[in-house]
Structure 1
Amino acid sequence: MPRPVVLCADDYALTEGVSRGILDLAQRGRISATGVMANMPGWPRLAAPLRGLGRGTVGIGLHMNLTTGAPLGRMPGLAPAGRLPGLRHLLRRVLPASGAARAAMEAELAAEIARQLDTFEQAHGAAPDFVDGHQHVHALPVVRRALLRVLADRYPAGGARPWLRDPSEGIGAILARGVSADKALVVAALSTGFRRAARAAGFDLNRGFSGFSPLNATTSAARVLERALLRPGPRHLVMCHPGHADEALRALDPAVESRPAELAYLASTAFADLLASRRVILVPRP
């Protein structure tokens, strides 16, 4: 039987080159979802091409961003200088937070999450099909509480609601895939409890997650994708990070050379053959 898989290209609107590569793959049917970084300055301009994609064929979601670029409003606790903190700094702030400090941080996070949702919807003209987080920050304990509160208020139960990305996976599947298992295990540990909290709040999620790749380019894009499709879960989601490299990307993100390599492989006949051999069909939601 065919295996439905969501193949989601993260980081749309990060830069012009990244967005152009993602859009090309979406038009070719080589990805089935993309997550938008709505706080990046190019998003309003880059929203129009996404609206040209067939509704229901490519999922368009919010790739909530708390670690790259500037926030959309004041964040005196986490971004006092007007720049979002790197992932390590964010982890140092949110993981040990408790009491009044935790409550203040949740309020600040909730306000920024709401602003990013507003900006997404204003440019896209619709609510996001899904919500996830750049560098999986949406699943962190303090962040998830703020996120779920905002989403529950904004999209009441009984109506249309975005689904959420669960970035965790079982240890057996992670070790069997054998690519960036260390990263996958760390993310799974930091995400402990996220699925339970999201389900309790009434949100749907994927079941099965893969696509972690090394920061260096020694592992080929073909191997990363081949291993990502090994032992898929019942509602599997694979993340990818294709795009054209440009100077804006080099200034923002360590993953530069891997993006054009992923773009080339996803556009290739070899990837089409891989999907056919694994009997995978790409779907816009899990």
Structure 2
Amino acid sequence: MASGFVLCADDFALTDGVSRSILALLEAGRLSAAGAMTNRPHWRGFAAAFGALADKADLGLHLNLTCTAPLGAMPRLAPGGELPALRDLARAAATSPTARHEIAAEIARQLDAFEDGLGRPPDFIDGHQHVHVLPGVRGALLDAVSKRYPKGSLYLRDPHDSPVAIRARGVAVGKALTISALALGFRHAALRRGFPINRGFSGVAPFDPARDFAADLQRFLLRPGPAHLVMCHPGFVDDELVRLDPVVATRPVEHAALMAFEPQGLTMVRFAGLA
């Protein structure tokens, strides 16, 4: 029976406003993990403040292969200097050896940028739009972490969860089931390489600002897995966010709800505190 859960904010360094929101939540002890997009220009400016909060939360890489510019040349996937849409990435990763080579190189660059910014490896790795579990991406990621890091030294996010649990929560059910199906097999592949994962996942949201996100947060704790992880997407809105990302209006709603969040039945912990 689960007694704790990890609460992880995605998208640190996406924009100034998103980064400041996550820093405020980390400082207030309202998160137990946060993932950074190290290909974004804001990473350099915010890395020191992010790293200073390592005693409060797990700090990881939010692998980004679909938003803005990569850190190096990707002539097959980003011929104009912009990363592809998720659908195009998934198709290329599954069918093109050239694309998979470029993906492997970009994973290495984003890990290098994290290590350069914090002076150490990440505590975990996950992916923007769950790209890390895509066929053609997951293999490159697992090869990279196996070569760079000792077994068990970081954890990987598994966005798979039980259909029964997803339906019981009743939040963005179709979307959550799709993401869960996409991740099939990732758990076993990660464990074979010796890297731990969460067991239980929620936080998939419809990004509807009219919804009661505080109530959804409590629903995300229903039917938790034995090592449960909840993702979230807080932020302060700025002009850059409006230009870059479709998820805008709900980010300050999530920030406010997280600041007031009192979990019912479970304790927020870092990954090492999970049973």
TM-score range, shorter chain: over 0.9
Matched, 1:41 2:27: no
Q: State TM-score, norm by structure 2.
A: 0.95
Aligned length: 273
Mapped to 2, the partners of 1:252 and 1:284 lie a distance apart of 30
Which letter does structure 2 place at the counterpart of 1:138?
H
Let me know the Cα RMSD of the aligned residues: 1.5
Is the deviation greater in 138-147 or in 187-196? 187-196
CA contact (8 A) 1:138 1:144 kept: yes
Q: How has the CA–CA distance of structure 1 residues 259 and 2 changed in structure 2, closer, same or farther, with 3 Å as cutoff?
A: same
- Cα shift readout 1:148-182 (whole Å, capped 9, x = no counterpart): 1111111143xx62100000101100100000011
Name the counterpart of 1:122: 116
1:245 is paired with a residue whose SS is coil
Mapped to 1, the partners of 2:54 and 2:65 lie a distance apart of 29
For structure 2, the residue ranges without an aligned partner over 5 or more in a row are: none
**CA positional deviation for 1:238:** 0.2
Which letter does structure 2 place at the counterpart of 1:143?
V
**CA positional deviation for 1:202:** 1.1
The aligned runs of 1:196-207 (5 Å cut-off) are 196-207=188-199
Name the counterpart of 1:212: 204
Name the counterpart of 1:69: 68
Name the counterpart of 1:246: 238
Matched, 1:135 2:134: no
The aligned runs of 1:1-286 (5 Å cut-off) are 3-55=3-55, 57-95=56-94, 97=95, 101=96, 103-157=97-151, 161-268=153-260, 271-272=261-262, 275=263, 277-285=264-272, 286=274
> How high is the sequence identity, in percent, across the aligned residues?
52
Q: How has the CA–CA distance of structure 1 residues 217 and 161 changed in structure 2, closer, same or farther, with 3 Å as cutoff?
A: same
Runs of 4+ off more than 6 Å: none
Mapped to 1, the partners of 2:52 and 2:118 lie a distance apart of 11
Mapped to 2, the partners of 1:156 and 1:252 lie a distance apart of 36
Q: How has the CA–CA distance of structure 1 residues 84 and 54 changed in structure 2, closer, same or farther, with 3 Å as cutoff?
A: closer
Q: How has the CA–CA distance of structure 1 residues 19 and 235 changed in structure 2, closer, same or farther, with 3 Å as cutoff?
A: same
**CA positional deviation for 1:284:** 4.3
**CA positional deviation for 1:107:** 1.4
- Cα shift readout 1:26-56 (whole Å, capped 9, x = no counterpart): 111110000000000010110111222252x
